[in-house]
Amino acid sequence: MPVRYMPPESMQRGRCSEKSDVWAYGVTCWEILTSGMTPYYPMTDPTVIGYVCGGGRLPREHLLGGCPDGLWAVLESCWAT
């Protein structure tokens, strides 16, 4: 399972929907803005599951060259539960 791209509800219930696609889109955008960093590196998959289900999200400070507030707001909205 691609847990690094999955929302908490998919990790917990094993169901995917268009909402989980929006979450994965936000992770993909973050990945692009970091020039290809692995999401949640260096965490293991089980650690990622606990982190995301506990409310953790990808950090803004890894984005190269900073990130405009409006763009960060879009990413955060993708990761809203």
The model's pTM: 0.93
Amino acid at 56: G
Query: What pLDDT sits at residue 79?
Result: 97
Confidence of residue 76 (pLDDT cuts 50, 70, 90): very high
Q: Which two tokens stand for residue 73?
A: 């707001």
For 1-40, b/e burial (b = at least 16 CB within 10 A) is: eebbbbbbbbbeeeeeeeebeebbebbebbbebbeeeebb
Task: Give pLDDT tens digits for 5-57.
Answer: 999 999 999 989 899 999 999 999 999 999 999 999 999 999 999 999 999 99
Q: Mention every residue, 6+ apart, whose C-beta is less than 8 A from residue 40.
A: 4, 47, 48, 51, 52, 58
* Domain ranges, ordered by start, for the chain: 16-78
Confidence of residue 66 (pLDDT cuts 50, 70, 90): confident
